[in-house]
């Protein structure tokens, strides 16, 4: 049965009764941790135009690529362990892309160790969200987003807080704080989670008896790389400050593209500089929709 008709969300509380839209499936419902495709659809409607380049550095089962194909955007997907023929293997902290070459950046990272992904040591899902190492790794992803985004363009990060062993880790709140240090804040949206798995076991009973709340929403944090990054020679490389030149802050000092601040460390000495369009696959196989998945 087709999903209900998609429409633009108009408040900062987003909800839709299905993981996928239309008659098909975007990404794979079998991939644990797949992003609800309607969230990406709404972001693309709001923050991109047809033909623009959209990068997802943790693309997993390729939901972002499928939504891009549906909406006429140039989707470019990377993951440590691709689960879609169009996704290219890469570390999200070191993308093979030129500086300031991307129109929109979407990222749904692991929420600490909530799910098992590739198990590789570079997988951010191997890091416990209670440890600083998780946030240090995500800071590198945020800085990579800054590097590859064109000035004036947006990024969105989709994340859930975690509650483990009597401890709530407010990942979303930490992300808002960290992203606000780097980018201009555009918006902060709560997306209602429709995780059907929670209806199967004793989760709700346990939540009542042990006095905790199951996570009911994800954070969707939308940020922008400011236009002035271009003028200040900060368009690529590591962001030093999000303050405008006239603020008299760190950003007021003139720097060349490669001077002034700490330079980005290259992982494994990989050469950089691919065009995003080199990774665009124009004819992608479509998959049939299956029910379920993370929503």
Ligand X SMILES: C[S@@+](CC[C@H](N)C(=O)[O-])C[C@H]1O[C@@H](n2cnc3c(N)ncnc32)[C@H](O)[C@@H]1O
Residue 285's alpha-carbon distances to 102, 244, 281, in angstroms, are 24, 45, 10
Nearest-approach distance from CB 11 to ligand X, in angstroms? 24
Minimum CB separation of residue 59 from ligand X in Å reads 6
Q: Work out how close the CB of 217 gets to ligand X at its nearest, in angstroms, rounded to a whole number.
A: 16
Dihedral (Cα; 256, 259, 262, 266), 10-degree rounding = 90
Least gap, CB of 243 to ligand X (angstroms): 29
Residues 21-50 that bind ligand X (CB under 6 A): 27, 31, 33-35
Give the CA count within 13 Å in the CB-facing half-sphere of 15: 6
3-class SS at 192?
Answer: strand
Question: Nearer to ligand X by C-beta: 104 or 117?
Answer: 117
- Contact residue for ligand X among 63, 100, 101, 218 (CB under 6 A): 63
Residues of this chain, 120-149, that bind ligand X according to CB under 6 A: 122-125
Min separation Cβ 125 and ligand X, Å: 5
Question: Given the complex with ligand X, which of 82 and 251 has the nearer CB atom?
Answer: 82
Asked if 192 contacts 217 with a C-beta cutoff of 8 angstroms, the reply is yes
Instruction: Count CB atoms within 10 A of the CB of residue 97.
Output: 24
38 versus 117: smaller Cβ distance to ligand X: 117
| Ramachandran angles phi, psi of 34, nearest 5° | -65, 145
Dist CA 264 CA 92 (whole Å): 14
Given the rule CB under 6 A, which residues bind ligand X?
27, 31, 33-35, 57-61, 63, 79-81, 91-93, 108-110, 117-118, 122-125
């Amino acid at each position: 049965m087709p999903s209900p008709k998609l429409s633009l969300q108009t408040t900062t509380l987003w909800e839709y009764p299905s993981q996928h839209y239309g008659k098909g499936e975007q990404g794979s419902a079998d991939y644990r941790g797949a992003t609800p495709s309607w969230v990406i659809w709404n972001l693309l409607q709001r923050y991109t135009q047809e033909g623009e380049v959209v990068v997802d550095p943790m693309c997993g089962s390729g939901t972002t690529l499928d939504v891009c194909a549906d909406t006429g955007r140039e989707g470019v997907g990377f993951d440590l362990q691709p689960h879609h023929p169009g996704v290219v293997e890469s570390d999200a902290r070191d993308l093979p892309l030129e500086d300031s070459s991307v129109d929109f950046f979407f990222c749904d990272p692991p929420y600490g160790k909530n799910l098992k992904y590739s198990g590789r040591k570079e997988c951010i899902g191997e890091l416990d969200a209670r440890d600083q190492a998780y946030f240090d790794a995500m800071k590198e992803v945020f800085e990579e987003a800054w590097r590859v985004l064109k000035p004036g363009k947006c990024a969105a990060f989709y994340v859930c807080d975690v509650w483990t062993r009597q401890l709530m880790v407010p990942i979303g709140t930490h992300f808002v704080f960290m992203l606000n240090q780097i980018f201009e804040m555009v918006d902060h949206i709560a997306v209602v989670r429709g995780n059907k798995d929670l209806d199967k076991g004793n989760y709700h009973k346990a939540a009542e008896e042990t006095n905790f709340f199951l996570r009911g929403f994800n954070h969707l944090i939308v940020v922008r790389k400011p236009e002035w990054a271009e003028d200040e020679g900060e368009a690529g490389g590591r962001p030093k400050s999000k303050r405008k030149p006239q603020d008299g802050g760190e950003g007021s000092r003139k720097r060349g593209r490669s001077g002034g601040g700490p330079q980005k460390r290259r992982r494994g000495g990989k050469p950089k500089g691919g065009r995003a369009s080199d990774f665009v696959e124009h004819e992608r196989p479509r998959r049939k929709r299956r029910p379920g998945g993370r929503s």
